[in-house]
A and B are shown apart, each in its own frame.
Chain A
Amino acid sequence: MDMKIIDLKKTILEDNDKDAELLRQETRAERVCYLNVMSSPGSGKTLTILALLHAIGDRISCGVMEADIDSDVDAKTIYEAGYPSVQLHTGGMCHLDAQMSRQGMKALYEAAESMGRKKPELVILENVGNLVCPAEFDTGSDLNLVILSVPEGDDKPLKYPLMFEKADLVVINKMDSLPAFDFDLKKCEANIRLRNEKACIFPISARTGEGISELAEKITEHVRERLAEGEEK
């Protein structure tokens, strides 16, 4: 088959890698684990984060930064669940970078303090709903978690390669809706593997709780490693 492909020019974006590396060193020194959660709009980031908080919130102190172009519905949801949260408005920007992360963390620590909570050991960022731009900007996170939901289709790793390359953990959400969609889990996993050989893949349903304990265990393990690293020093 003859397919015409036009490769358009790419503009070079501002580099924030140095700043991200610095933030990573700072958070490590403070023994904070920074988890960056990315996905399309409506893949279930907020519900997945809530399910995680319920699973690990009594063992690990957590706080959530909600990044959106507008509204504060997500930060309210987290706050109402009893966890420190801040809403970050990106001023129209399609992603968060390291500098914005730093501003958000400072505000989150203050929010935790004002709630009488200890400083979060796990800072979760719910990035802007977008499969493109957030992958291009290192936020300074320790772990990148990408959520792909069943209704979006199993071909997304083919179309948004960088996002899946950058992932440490890939969550396949809304597994309970599988009967309504032509979604092939095996094919999806194979498509993810084309982009990323190492990422751990977790099929879950944030709504029913399926697969949440395995995901929570993995993240807990990572946070414990981070805390132990701090103790060694």
Chain B
Amino acid sequence: MSIQVIEVNESVFAGNDRLADETRQKLKKEGTFLLNVMASPGAGKTSVLLRTIGLLKDRYRMGVMEADIDATVDAEKMQANGVRSIQVHTGGECAMNADMTRQALEEFHTEDLDLLFLENVGNLVCPAEEDVGACRSIEILSVPEGDDKPLKYPLMFQVTQAVLVNKIDTKEYFPFDDEAVTRRIHALNSEAKVFFVSAKTGEGFDEWVRWLAGEVDAWKAES
């Protein structure tokens, strides 16, 4: 059988790479590691961050920038858990870019932080296109979304250094093939780390947090 494929024209957006590089230099000088966290809506970004922060709280000074179109529910959740956070409203934009991130950093005053998380807008398309100036980027893919997502949103899996497969505690409800998803991710990005976790039960977090701490420490040692 043959499926007709139609290529629709893409408009070209202006690059913001220079600004992103400036942010990276500034963060380097201040010793703050910025992790860009991306995922679909409802994949569990906030829950993953809360558990991660809980596990690393004796090791690093941390903060979270919550980016959303609207609402303050995530920043409220962070603050209720004693995590320093701000809510960033993107004015309808589907992703944070380097300029927005720079504005948010200026407002948040992150100089004293070791590890800063940016919880990007829930979206598998636009955030992958924007370099925000982060030191590393990760993608959280949740089991209910399905193991075919790397096929449909390839860029997201190419620009991230690690993929967290979240909600593995719900596997009895959803068909999900660990091996297939790993293969699809590695076909796009052979160096990507893949961690299988559940933010609800804590399963798999030791390995993920060990990797993250390793990245933070290595980056700080370079400074």
Chain A interface (Cβ within 8 Å of chain B)?
Answer: 1, 3-11, 40-43, 68-73, 75-76, 79-80, 85-94, 96, 100, 103-104, 107, 111, 128-133, 136, 149, 151-153, 155-156, 158-162, 174, 176-177, 180-181
Alpha-carbon distance A90/B149, docked complex (angstroms)? 16
Out of B3, B93, B145, which one reaches A75, CB within 8 Å? B3
Interface string of B134-177 (1 = CB under 8 A from A): 00000000101110110111110000000000010110111000
Interface residue total, chain B, C-beta cutoff 8 A: 61
Closest CB in chain A relative to B161 CB, distance in Å: 20
- Which residues of chain B (91-145) have a CB below 8 Å from chain A? 91-94, 100, 103-104, 107-108, 121-126, 129, 142, 144-145
Alpha-carbon distance A3/B70, docked complex (angstroms)? 13
Nearest A residue to B12 by beta-carbon distance?
Answer: A92
A-B contact pairs, 9 of them (CB 8 A): A5-B72, A41-B124, A42-B142, A71-B148, A71-B151, A72-B5, A93-B11, A132-B94, A160-B70
| A-chain residues with CB within 8 Å of residue B173 when the two chains form the complex | 174, 176-177, 180
Most buried by B among A86, A103, A130: A130
A133-B126 contact in complex given A100-B8, A177-B174, C-beta closer than 8 Å: yes
**A94, B125: Cβ atoms closer than 8 Å:** yes
Query: B75 at interface (Cβ–Cβ under 8 A)?
Result: yes
| A-chain residues with CB within 8 Å of residue B70 when the two chains form the complex | 158-161
| A-chain residues with CB within 8 Å of residue B1 when the two chains form the complex | 76, 79-80
Query: B223 at interface (Cβ–Cβ under 8 A)?
Result: no
| B-chain residues with CB within 8 Å of residue A87 when the two chains form the complex | 3-6
| A-chain residues with CB within 8 Å of residue B5 when the two chains form the complex | 72, 87-89
**B170, A177: Cβ atoms closer than 8 Å:** yes
Alpha-carbon distance A160/B100, docked complex (angstroms)? 19
Query: B35 at interface (Cβ–Cβ under 8 A)?
Result: no
Query: B7 at interface (Cβ–Cβ under 8 A)?
Result: yes
